Amino acid sequence: MRIGDAKQSYAADEALWTSTTQQVWFGLLLLSLLLFPFFASPYLLYLACLVGIAVISATGLNILTGFTGLISLGQAGFMGVGGYTVAWLSLHTSLPFPIALLAAGLLSAAIGMVIGLPSLRIKGLYLAIATLAASVFLHFVFVEWASVTGGMAGLSLRSAQLFGLTFHNDFRMYFMIMPLAVLMLLAARNIFRTRIGRAFIAIRDRDISAEILGIPLLRYKLLSFALSSFYAGVAGGLFAYFYRVVTPESFPLSMSIFYLAAIIVGGMGSILGGVLGAIFMTLVPEGLKLLTTAITPIYPQAPVFMSPLLGVVFGVLIVGFLIFEPNGLAEVWRRIRRFFHLWPFRT
Amino acid sequence: MKILEAVNVHLSFGGVAALRDISFSVPEDSITTVIGPNGAGKTSLFNCISGFYRPQQGSIFFRGQDISRLKPPARAALGLARTFQNIALFRGMTVLDNIKLGAHVHTKTGLLGALAYLGPARREEMALREEVERRIIDFLEIDHIRRQPVASLPYGLQKRVELARALAMRPQLLMLDEPVAGMNREEKEDMARFILDIKEEWGVTVLMVEHDMSMVMDISDHVVVLNFGQVIASGLPQEVQKNPAVIEAYLGDGDIATLRRRLNANTEAA
Amino acid sequence: MDWLFFAEVSLAGLATGGLYALIALGFVIIYKATRVINFAIGEIMMFAAYLFLSFAGGMQLPPLIALPLAVLGGTILGGVVEKVMIRPMLGESPISVVMVTIGLASILVGMAEIIWTADPQLLPEFLPRDPVFLGEIYLAPKIAYGFLIGATVLVLYLLYFRFSRGGVALRATASDQAAAYSMGINVRRVFNLAWVFGSLAASLAGILVSATGGLSPQSGAIGLSVLVIVIVGGLDSILGALIAGLFVGWLETVAGAFFGGEYRMLATFSVLALILIIRPYGLFGTHEIERL
Ligand SMILES: Nc1ncnc2c1ncn2[C@@H]1O[C@H](COP(=O)(O)OP(=O)(O)O)[C@@H](O)[C@H]1O
Ligand SMILES: [Mg+2]
């Protein structure tokens, strides 16, 4: 049990990891992330890459929806912009991957700001539907602008490049995805230690009083859109490098819903929540797959039910968490931690 | 010296006039109180001053500058701070973050600085924390709740946190919309003391809306009476209290709630 | 340009639009009474259409029995959903409630695929098959009769809301929940009633639409068009739902016939974007003013 948090200074009080124990845990976590690929099976490595991408995208959506209160059904569209940018750059230039990913993020952010423009006048569900419209337009562009996007067939990429190194397998991709995920998570966490993050939350909680307290609404809503779609764009770019092919169907509406589900299940307005949700939601389908493989010998029809069952499970998770644990896995985690802090003195 | 002046302000909602041809001013370094029955237009007046409502006619001057066309954030940056009649705290934030948010216009960390949280951004946050702790949290005696989410606080404390947030805006003119409504006697006395201190020690001009007559009479330097969207009297508290039009407004409109509250206030004071 | 063709396409579009209007009406009823945006309305339609398929196709019941049974099934589904999923969310943020309906949609699609497989299917014929002509203009019989049934029900609905007790309670709740409650209206029952009526309209329309277009678990995507309709018309406006329903039905059909299927959605959503820019709360919707 750990007691006492009388802080020596405000700096110590405002630190991310407020105790040595926490710092140690964080160090251990980083170390295990670093060593993981050397011990993991190819399958686990593959999963870790998927989780990393999902974590980045979910964190982006969480900034917009969870923290700023602007619901977006356009996440997949923004990821698509990033994915196509990276694919196009990979085919037509030999830029190193960090530049390509940056370009993906920036282009996506720019489009995000355009789509965020109506947010000054429309709110809530009207805005959600505007983002839905935007993703329909983006999908249309992906399909029809064939000279750039390759139409329905999409684009196949070359492997990512950096200083003559090619990222052609999951092992190397891991070292591209995971550091980026960690970095972008820390950056997101930092935002919410400053005035910008506070402004986002204020807009979510009560936008009109936020404005009277000095927050220019349009600027901050656009900033949130930009930031969120930057994350989505980078995630989409990584997605493209990882699968080395993008098509319009790589970024369906159901993907946007997947990410909404992830932040709901994980915990809206909590960085940790976004991470937990992304991990959980990425692993659920894999769990189902394992289950299906296990029972196929007994029940050969099982694989047929795999994909619809997944839809049912996603739906039940969304509804269940909203009704029974609206603060998501992050809250569950907090409860577990509190339990161990006080243990063995109280339950 | 007038810090704020409203000239012929007219506001209506689809034909229903909430404010009619309002003119009044707030002397610098005063506590000016706006009173009037429910629905008289007091909150609407505050909203016009903060820029949330746009009056159809008239102008509002702050330190001689016409602010009628400024958006609310620009007015906040000039030093117009306020609290709200129905508490408008940010429920997802802690007390500390709510207060810090008030300082938004006085800080300048940009997006990249915030993402990195190195050097300047960190220093700005630390300076802000220091200021908030020293000048506001200590002053309002809310150090024990700084880490709590505001939603979990009792009503009286929420009102106090709202005041704290307004103070973090480094106000030149502090507008309080019914600061003691719904409080018990002890809380009211604390709040009255804070308001006096803010005027005297911080040198901030206060403009407030209040129903509690004993408090109005005790601490106001200047009273403006509103009825049906019009200014029907203004002047020193004692003068206004004797004004027949004011008595008529309070007794004549049959607003039982206001009447009862006023009677209670008087018996309490006695 | 071939005017006769244009007229035929337009008429077919308007007839489809009539069914859209019926679904949109169901949507608006739910929204007006409960302030819930029901993203699952398309899936409720799809589910009812599958029920009809099972009753009329699988069990070989005569259409005249299968149709009401299937509509009843969809209606019960709506009522149960309200009780089990929506009611516990009372007082939560609109985002959360919408997400519940999105979750519901996902569940319904999955279940439909498990029960009825993912393959598109055709409903058994149940509408008269003789061609319908309006002057020289030909109209596919399924569309024509579908429209007739849909329009009849729509008119019945409007009459019901105007004159019946339940209708008055619904409208009272819609205009002021607290006041309705204090007048002794059982607001919870009204909420349930709204879901029941909304789902009934959706179920019937779902069967009629699927009779022409075929049916698959993805058929619920029509809910997207309905969403556009209610936004264009104004979420809380019945008149808006009717006009926008006809218009969007017409627009989609014309765009599809003249430019190709991939332009249907584009046309619909362009109208949506335009409306959101020039009239953010729809043609006839009320903009709720926020107060401090
Ligand atoms: N946003 C609004 N829309 C319509 N009417 C309003 C609005 N805000 C205030 N009013 C009306 O203006 C009048 C004055 O209200 P208000 O300023 O809140 O009074 P007070 O604060 O003095 O009690 C009331 O009749 C009120 O109904
Ligand atoms: Mg008021």
pLDDT in tens, C280-291: 888 888 777 677
pLDDT, tens digit, 9 for 90 and up, residues A284-306: 988 888 888 888 888 888 888 88
Query: What's the average model confidence in pLDDT over B200-212?
Result: 93
Is any ligand 1 atom within 6 A of the Cβ of residue B179? Answer: no
Which stretch of B176-180, B265-269, C157-161 has the lowest confidence by average pLDDT? B265-269
CB B213 within 8 A of CB B267: no
Decide if pLDDT at A4 tops 60. no
The pLDDT of residue B259 is above 70: no
B143 and B115 both lie in a single domain: yes
Q: Residue A66 in contact with residue A268, Cβ under 8 Å?
A: yes
- Report chain A residues whose CB lies below 8 A from the CB of C113: 307-308, 311
| pLDDT band, residue B270 (cuts 50/70/90) | very low
User: What is the rounded average pLDDT for all residues in chain A?
Assistant: 89
Of the three residues B170, B188, B223, the one that is the final residue of a domain is: B170
- Region of C90 (left: φ > 0; alpha: ψ -120 to 50; beta: rest) is beta
pLDDT band at B242 (very low <50, low <70, confident <90, very high): confident
Closest CA to B166 of B103, B242, B255, B245: B103
Chains that touch B (3 or more CB pairs under 8 A): A, C
For ligand 1, whether the C-beta of B18 sits within 6 Å is yes
Sheet with B222-227: strands ordered across: B80-82, B173-177, B205-209, B31-35, B222-227, B230-235
Q: Which residues pair with A162 in a beta bridge?
A: A165
Asked whether the predicted pLDDT for residue C125 surpasses 90, the reply is no
Tokens of B7: 């000239």
- With a 6 Å cutoff on the Cβ, whether B42 touches ligand 1 is yes
Nearest chain A residue to C36 by CA distance is A125
Among B115, B134, B158, pick the best mutation site for testing chain A contact (most A Cβ within 10 A): B115
CA atoms within 13 Å, Cβ hemisphere of B263: 7
Touching subunits for chain C (3+ Cβ pairs under 8 A): A, B
Instruction: Identify whether residues B164 and B177 lie together within a single domain.
Output: no
Between chain B and chain C, the number of residue pairs with CB atoms below 8 A apart is 8
| pLDDT (0 to 100) of residue B172 | 95
- Say yes or no for a CB contact (<8 Å) between A208 and C290: yes
B16/chain A closest Cα distance in angstroms: 23
Closest CA to A59 of A234, A201, A193: A234
pLDDT at A347: 45
For the stretch B46-80, pLDDT in tens is 999 999 999 999 999 999 999 999 999 999 999 99
- Of A97, A107, A274, residue with least CA distance to A180: A97
Bridge partners (DSSP) of residue B2 are: B27
pLDDT-wise least confident of A30-34, A245-249, C135-139: C135-139
pLDDT above 90 covers a percentage of chain B that reads: 70
Half-sphere exposure of B204 (CA within 13 A, CB side): 25
pTM for the model stands at: 0.90
Residue with tokens 């679904």: C23
Identify the pLDDT of residue B265: 59
Percentage of chain B lying above the pLDDT 70 cut = 93
Q: For tokens 């039905």, name the residue.
A: C249
Q: Is the pLDDT of residue C53 over 80?
A: yes
User: Residue A214 phi/psi, 5° resolution?
Assistant: 110, 15
Q: What is the dihedral of CA A22, A28, A34, A38, to 10 degrees?
A: -150
- Among B170, B189, B208, the domain boundary falls at B170
Give the model's pLDDT for residue C142: 81
* pLDDT of res. A1: 38
Token look-up 């030093």 returns B79
Per-residue pLDDT band for B267 (boundaries 50, 70, 90) equals: low
- Give me the domain span that covers residue B127: 87-170
- Cα distance between residue C74 and residue A224, in whole Å: 40
* Residue A125 touches partner C, C-beta closer than 8 Å: yes
Element (H, E) at C30: helix C3-34
| Ramachandran quadrant class, A96 (left: phi over 0; alpha: psi -120 to 50; beta: rest) | beta
Q: Specify the 3-state DSSP secondary structure of B61.
A: strand
Asked if A211's CB is within 8 angstroms of B104's CB, the reply is no
* Cβ(B38) – ligand 1 distance below 6 Å: yes
In terms of DSSP H, where are the helices of chain A?
Answer: 10-14, 20-39, 42-61, 75-92, 97-116, 124-144, 146-149, 170-191, 195-212, 217-243, 253-266, 271-295, 302-324, 328-342
Tell me, in angstroms, the distance from the centre of ligand 1 to residue A203's CA: 24
Region C50-77: what's the mean pLDDT? 92
What integer pLDDT is reported at residue B97 of this predicted model? 95
Mean pLDDT throughout C96-114?
92
Of A166-170, A275-279, C7-11, C238-242, minimum mean pLDDT range: A166-170
pLDDT of A328 higher than 70? yes
The CATH number that applies at residue B233 is 3.40.50.300
Beta bridge partners of residue B9, listed in sequence order: B22
Instruction: Return the sign of the alpha-carbon dihedral for residues A270, A274, A275, A276.
Output: positive
Q: Are residues B155 and B42 in the same domain?
A: no
Selected residues 221-240 of chain C with any CB under 8 Å from a CB in chain A: 224, 227-228, 231, 235
CATH of domain A32-342: 1.10.3470
How high is the pLDDT of residue C269? 87
Chain position carrying tokens 């243990």: A343
CA neighbor of C193 nearest in space, from C225, C160, C163, C226: C160
- C236 membership: H or E segment, kind and range: none
Dig out the tokens for C26 from the structure: 């169901």
Flag whether pLDDT at B223 surpasses 90.
Answer: yes
More confident residue, C76 or A173: C76
**For residue A74, pLDDT beyond 90:** yes
Domain boundary among B170, B185, B211: B170
Rounded to an integer, what distance in angstroms lies between the CA atom of residue C31 and that of residue C174? 9
Q: Which DSSP letter does residue A159 get?
A: P
What per-residue confidence (pLDDT) applies to B256? 54
One-letter amino acid identity for A53?
I
Identify which of B179, B267, B165, B168 has the alpha carbon closest to the alpha carbon of residue B220: B179
The alpha helices in chain B, defined as continuous H runs, are 42-50, 72-78, 95-102, 111-116, 119-131, 155-168, 185-202, 213-219, 237-242, 244-252, 256-269
With cut-offs at 50, 70 and 90, classify the pLDDT of residue C82. very high
Query: pLDDT tens digits for B144-193?
Result: 999 999 999 999 999 999 999 999 999 999 999 999 988 888 999 999 99
Ligand nearest to the CA of B53: 1
CA–CA gap between residue A224 and residue C281 (Å, rounded): 23
Tally of structural domains, chain B: 2
Asked if B90's CB is within 8 angstroms of A202's CB, the reply is yes
Determine the straight-line distance between the first and last CA of chain C, rounded to whole angstroms.
56
Which of A193, A205, A212 minimises the CB distance to B125?
A: A193
Task: Report ipTM for this prediction.
Answer: 0.89
Q: Are B262 and B232 members of one domain?
A: yes
> Residue C215 in contact with residue C254, Cβ under 8 Å?
no
The pLDDT value given to residue A289: 87
pLDDT score for B268: 52
Test C276 with A309 for CB contact under 8 angstroms: no
Calculate the alpha carbon distances from A125 to A122, B83, C28, C89 in Å.
8, 29, 14, 17
What is the rounded average pLDDT of the residues C187-216?
A: 91
Per-residue DSSP letter, C121: B
Query: Are B100 and B139 in a shared domain?
Result: yes
Mean pLDDT of C66-95: 92
As a whole number, mean pLDDT of residues C181-205 equals 90
DSSP-assigned beta bridge partners for residue B35: B225
Rg (CA), chain C: 19
Nearest CA in chain A to C280: A122
